[in-house]
Structure 1
């Protein structure tokens, strides 16, 4: 098959156009172009001078065809083309076009640099997801190792879920990476087109910019919420599974007891030290330096500075309460806001259905169901304090920057201010243990 004829160079086409628009008499671009009946064009002043003094018939300067009368007609289309050529050959027009070409190239270079940086960031995010996913898998495996064959199926299911979520996160970034790489290739193609135009037109008059390829619009890079990904797998997995395999769980939840010496005078503690009640009157106690005097609070007798610990608290239908952990060094004689800055990592309930995390300011929580039992997970090595609905082990809130020092489980049954019999805050033991008086 014969090759298709190649298009003439842009410079040849421009020269041919200029030649077609040049008067054969004055050898310059047409001025007031007119067309003779033989279809040849001349400047109106030129043909008028050419015929001046001629008696009788006149002729075309090009083809010598004679005419009995001096007739010609103005060609407005040619006039418009002449004016366009005249305008595009002006120095200011060429300079402006060159400036536009330079600015367009600079803009594409900047976009290419942006996409290159975005690709690097996306790849870094993918590496972070992979490393974080690998760490989570190791943690999951470690948690389930203690349950061995009994929990093998549970472990497999959770690892598959983790891998799916990791793949989902990777796919988000991969899709963005592919879009950025495609956009980068299109930008580079446009750069090539404009660079070619710039190189080709160094010594040639440029009449218009080349047509670039349309560029894809790339969405904003997806954010990686590693905290959301990690919370589920950095949770007390054994205790989550414990609802199904309670008897095989080792070790079980911490069997806490209340420290009566820390109880505010408005708190009454049961004989077995597992229930704390609000009371109308004030119980007289000796001042031992450990007791809360301003706020209706109480601590557990057991403190923790290392390891991982989990306990559950029954709050029942109480309309208000606070619970969590408190630093050993907290001020127990003053009224202080419960916040990590003051040594408290807590969850609170007010007005029966308003749940908040004890941050500064308070973080309001959206809770789908109102838990009657709260699970508290303290991971001293990870410095994490997490709260769960103990009925379904759904996460309510997690403090990722937890305590560095020794802490004690913290409770406040609050003063409900109603005439009904107050419901206690109760420490739950699994299995029940015999406590000394």
Structure 2
């Protein structure tokens, strides 16, 4: 391509004097930005070429110059690449840099990098891949490299800043500060926030599945109700029709019986009349008088007292509607009665979707407690084992905590209490007191229910609240809603709510808490067992 063809002007619009944007060609062969030439022609009463002044009496249809458009796009890409490329600081002609020196704050091509590879004084300078904006690595105040990090003020400083302004501050090398920052980011709050949001996604998905299930159930129930209503209407119509038909049948039978009697008497009268006419022709008076029948014949019915009215069916439809209204009213009354919270069994099924896998923490268990290998069972023994002192372990109360902590979302787990005479089940704050005598109550960060003396159930409020249960639970379900501050206990078999702690106001992470209590010389030796939750999503 010629020098003129590759010059800067070849890619510039003569109207806006900038690089072409949507280049189009006029019939005379000149090129302009489409917005520029369109605006120029819109402002003028004549359409003419701004370069050669050729007039177009009919406004031409502008067509994109595809070749020029491609060349302009390529030129912009090349310019962007050149802008991103780091050049050697010391070359008079543009040459790409191979390395940048973090001390000299300069970039070097292969030739100018040689002293940093051979001169002893320069070989200690740290080199990096080519870096743009080396000025950002310079202290604006002292014009020295930023080579230290002030942990106190959380910013990079130069050696003069460290000497003059940061003497008593926590100073680190950039490498050490970088490693610390990376380590802290790996355990940062953002990870916890990510986990919280993942749990929230799971919770929303669970709720969505429950919503779909409830919608399906309600739709099925609506279909059944509609079917019942149609069936009730049909039954009412059929019954009323049968009543009307039966009345009509009896009415017809009565009419047929009367007509039959009347026709029989008509026959007798006609027969008698024929006999009289026959005798009337006789000329023998004696014969006539001896054989003349009685008129009217004996045994005829007095029909003047007999009446037959049309069947009356008026009001049948009204009575049918009234009966239908009564039937539907009873049905609607049954349907509109407030139901228990989504049906106790359905409610427990919903809560079981929040089931979590719970294991016991041996480091917290009282020395007389024995845990199973799978950390799912705990029982009390008479043998007190020796353990090194630990602030995590209960030393007076026969308690053990779960390993899993929770501070957000909803949690559900079940504990088998079958066969025990005493036990405690619930949740506690991580900061719960573990040394000395402990009073189990919500006031002290423990939300639990308990059994004493085989039949005395209580909620560990302050003071304790006696509970009256219809039957002794074999498994206890524990549900915690951290956001709502709610802890609820259920009979996992009957689905009945045992007790709820509302408005708990949790101030710390929560953990499951179990106590099998003293074994009472073997009378209470059955273990507490964390059981698999039946019907949860993971089961």
Name which one, 1 or 2, has greater alpha-carbon Rg.
2
What is the TM-score normalised by the length of structure 1? 0.45
Q: Which has the higher contact order (CA 8 A, sep 6+)?
A: 1
